[in-house]
């Protein structure tokens, strides 16, 4: 599959919702040169399921991970998807970037289209406090169920307090640890 | 024989006679009570914590819930928020996994190199490939041994792990360590492979080439191994695709999915890697545990070929584009951008995302995806309708990087009974003995 083909399909399906598309060539190989192409683009959160469904119609689709971070005003999520595995150099990496406002941190879930996305969506619920509408299971995968904070949010005062407590604890235990070991 | 019998305290799994008849009799009719069996957080397969809560009807599993995070160390948080520089984070990334300890640094260095626009010299790319393929050999042999142990076939475990020592010796010779090799650094590798080391590597490869058929025979032609693994823990190709399974777990179901083939990186295009499925051994892929053994053992052979080819065609030249660390750190501090790095680890796809901000030593964002993360979901269909005694081998068959069990709680009528790791393994071994007869 060619990156151009994927790009055009997304453009046609999403229209105005497909913003700032970028093709990033990645030269690989030493004796046998090759270029792997990555697609990076911005998609508003409500168009994410449509974008994923479009990619799925092109060939076997794989979601690597959703990465995300707290960008101050909003939360940024990046969907790292790969479309069309199975042939040599035949897979195209697509990264869809979307912004989620902090006063309404919801995104439509893509589990209905790609069930494999469940673990990574649940992880984002725990770590960033983003809610995925329509996810089949939303209980915690990694963090304790009763943890009141979302550790990757930069506006969490509790995280800073926790780090401070940890530093203090380490200071208090320095002597004891070395004596013990 | 309807007389009620006191339950034998040494045999806590089997219900008392009357109850047993109800449970087994009800199986075919779809009747019988459903019990919840939480296993872990200390688990039977590998020495890492995870909790699997099974719903069982008699000896059959009807549902499973997976809960991880008992060893969540917050490594990404440490990298993003605690003021470490990228070289410190590189060593941190190496400690994400003790078995595939080069996979994460390879993906991480690639992500940073993409973000900072750093080139890797050809020789360094070849060295990275050689070390990762040596790691694949040791990881697959480690897994094969564990699988044999889970089946109660300890002779095979000792045989496989004895054979595995050779590749660890070679890794120690090349890198200085049996694990945590600390080979990749941004822009190259830390150590060169010297001319006097070539024959030692070649000799080890000859050793493995000679042994491979013997190993394949020991595992695949053994009627007991076949009886315990054929038709057990099946993952259909459709499920593997939808649940985004990766690595040997997906390939055993017949999906030709291998990052080295699909979107090659480093020097991998030179080796024309083809994803291996059971078809390459003349079998129709069923996606069961047996097929996972086939794929992993064949991949040992594939790795041998890649390393041989790499040694034959090794380019000359520099091993790093930044020989001086302060210059590298200064370059990284100035860099601004984002990048993805990926690698086919022995267990499947590893991917790292990094975003660098100019003037900051730590990355703004760092996200790590380990292969077990993708394969977690494939446990759901694999466990469905399997027997309790098959739990260890199914849990182990995706080669999870989290696990190990201490005891099992059997909750029956509100009472908790404790099954230790030894007892669960005993169940598995007894099944092997029954089938071997």
Per-residue pLDDT at B46: 58
Q: What is the widest separation between alpha-carbon atoms in chain B?
A: 83
Interface contact flag, B263 A91, Cβ < 8 Å: yes
Residue B260 confidence (pLDDT): 92
Q: Write down the pLDDT at residue B3.
A: 40
Put simply, whether B91 touches A (Cβ < 8 Å) is no
With CA atoms as reference, report the closest residue to B182 among B101, B114, B107: B101
Per-residue pLDDT, B19: 46
Rg from Cα positions in chain A: 20
User: Is B297:B277 a contact under the CB 8 Å cutoff?
Assistant: no
Interchain contact B84–A (C-beta under 8 A): no
Q: How far is CA B148 from CA B47, B167, B228, B403, in A?
A: 16, 20, 10, 17
CA dist B137 → B48, B207, B293, B327 (Å) = 21, 12, 13, 35
At residue B436, the pLDDT reads 67
Task: Please give the Cα distance from B309 to B315 (Å, whole number).
Answer: 12
Say if the Cβ atoms of B77 and A116 lie within 8 Å: no
Interface probe with B: pick from A37, A116, A149, most Cβ of B within 10 Å? A116
List, in order of start, the domains of chain B with CATH numbers: 34-70+387-436 (no CATH), 75-369 (1.10.645.10)
pTM of the entire predicted model? 0.86
What local confidence, expressed as pLDDT, does residue B268 receive? 93
* Chain segment A40-63, per-residue pLDDT in tens: 999 999 999 999 999 999 989 999
Q: How much is the ipTM here?
A: 0.89
Q: How far is B263 from chain A (nearest CA, A)?
A: 5
Residue recorded with tokens 């830390």? B190
* Interface contact flag, B374 A64, Cβ < 8 Å: yes
How far apart are the CA of B253 and the nearest CA of chain A, in angstroms?
13
Tokens matching residue A74: 């909003």
B379 touches chain A (CB under 8 A): no
How many angstroms separate the CA atoms of A17 and A5, rounded? 18
Q: Which residues 260-319 of B have a C-beta within 8 angstroms of A? A: 261-270, 272, 274-275, 313, 315
**B82/A contact by beta carbon, under 8 A:** yes
**Gap from A119 CA to chain B (nearest CA, Å):** 7
What is the rounded CA–CA span in Å between residue B333 and residue B335?
6
pLDDT at residue A142, as a whole number: 83
pLDDT score recorded for residue B418: 54
Region of residue A167 (left: phi > 0; alpha: psi -120 to 50; beta: else) = alpha
Report mean pLDDT in 10-residue bins for chain B, 437 residues: 43 45 44 75 67 83 82 82 86 86 92 93 95 94 90 90 93 90 92 93 94 91 88 88 91 92 92 92 89 93 95 93 92 93 92 92 90 86 82 76 33 48 72 70
Chain A environment of B242 (Cβ under 8 Å): 114-116
**pLDDT at residue number B106:** 94
């Amino acid at each position: 599959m060619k990156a151009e083909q994927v790009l055009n399909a997304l453009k046609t399906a999403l229209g105005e919702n497909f913003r700032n598309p970028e093709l990033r060539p990645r030269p690989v190989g030493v004796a046998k040169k090759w270029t792997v192409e990555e697609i990076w683009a911005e998609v508003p959160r409500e168009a994410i399921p449509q974008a994923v469904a479009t990619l799925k119609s092109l060939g076997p689709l794989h979601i690597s991970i959703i990465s995300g971070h707290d960008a101050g005003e909003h939360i940024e999520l990046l969907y790292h998807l790969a479309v069309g595995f199975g042939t040599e150099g035949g897979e195209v990496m697509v990264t869809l970037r979307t912004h989620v406002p902090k006063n309404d941190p919801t995104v439509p879930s893509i589990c209905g289209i790609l069930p494999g996305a469940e673990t990574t969506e649940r992880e984002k619920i725990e770590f960033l406090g983003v809610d995925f509408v329509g996810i089949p299971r939303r209980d915690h995968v990694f963090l304790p169920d009763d943890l009141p904070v979302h550790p990757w949010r930069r506006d969490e005062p509790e995280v800073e307090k926790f780090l401070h407590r940890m530093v203090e604890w380490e200071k208090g235990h320095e002597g004891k640890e070395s004596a013990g070991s | 024989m309807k007389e009620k019998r006191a339950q034998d305290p040494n045999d806590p799994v089997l219900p008392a006679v009357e109850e047993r008849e109800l449970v087994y009799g009800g199986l075919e009719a779809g009747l019988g009570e459903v019990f919840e069996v939480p296993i872990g957080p200390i688990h039977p397969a590998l020495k890492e914590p995870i909790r699997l809560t099974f719903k069982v009807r008699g000896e059959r599993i009807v549902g499973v819930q997976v809960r991880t995070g008992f060893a969540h160390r917050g490594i990404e948080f440490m990298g993003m928020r605690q003021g470490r520089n990228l070289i410190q984070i590189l060593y941190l990334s190496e400690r994400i996994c003790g078995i595939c300890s080069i996979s994460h640094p390879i993906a991480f260095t690639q992500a940073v190199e993409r973000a900072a626009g750093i080139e890797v010299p050809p020789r360094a790319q070849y060295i990275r490939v050689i070390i990762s393929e040596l790691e694949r050999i040791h990881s697959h042999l480690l897994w094969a041994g564990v699988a044999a142990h889970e089946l109660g076939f300890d002779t095979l475990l000792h045989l496989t792990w004895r054979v595995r020592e050779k590749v660890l010796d070679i890794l120690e010779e090349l890198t200085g360590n049996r694990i945590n090799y600390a080979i990749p650094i941004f822009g190259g590798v830390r150590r060169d492979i010297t001319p006097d080391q070539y024959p030692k590597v070649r000799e080890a490869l000859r050793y493995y080439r000679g042994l491979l058929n013997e190993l394949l025979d020991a595992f695949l032609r053994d009627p007991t191994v076949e009886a315990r693994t054929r038709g057990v823990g099946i993952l259909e190709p459709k499920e593997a695709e939808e649940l985004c399974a990766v690595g040997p777990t997906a390939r055993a179901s017949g999906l030709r999915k291998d990052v080295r083939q699909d979107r090659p990186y480093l020097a991998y295009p030179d080796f024309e890697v083809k994803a291996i499925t059971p078809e390459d051994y003349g079998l129709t892929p069923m996606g069961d545990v047996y097929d996972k053994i086939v794929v992993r053992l064949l991949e040992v052979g594939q790795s041998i070929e890649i390393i041989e080819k790499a040694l034959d065609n090794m380019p000359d030249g520099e091993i790093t584009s930044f020989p001086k660390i302060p210059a590298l750190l200064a370059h990284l501090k100035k860099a601004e951008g984002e990048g993805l790095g990926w690698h086919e680890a022995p267990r499947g796809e590893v991917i790292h995302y990094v975003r660098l901000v100019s003037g900051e030593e730590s990355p703004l964002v760092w996200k790590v995806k380990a292969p077990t993360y993708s394969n977690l979901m494939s446990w759901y269909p694999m466990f469905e309708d399997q027997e309790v005694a098959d739990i260890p081998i199914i849990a182990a068959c995706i080669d999870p990087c989290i696990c190990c069990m201490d005891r099992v709680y059997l909750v029956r009528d509100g009472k908790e009974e404790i099954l230790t790791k030894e007892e669960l393994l005993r169940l598995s071994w007894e099944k092997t003995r029954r089938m071997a007869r």
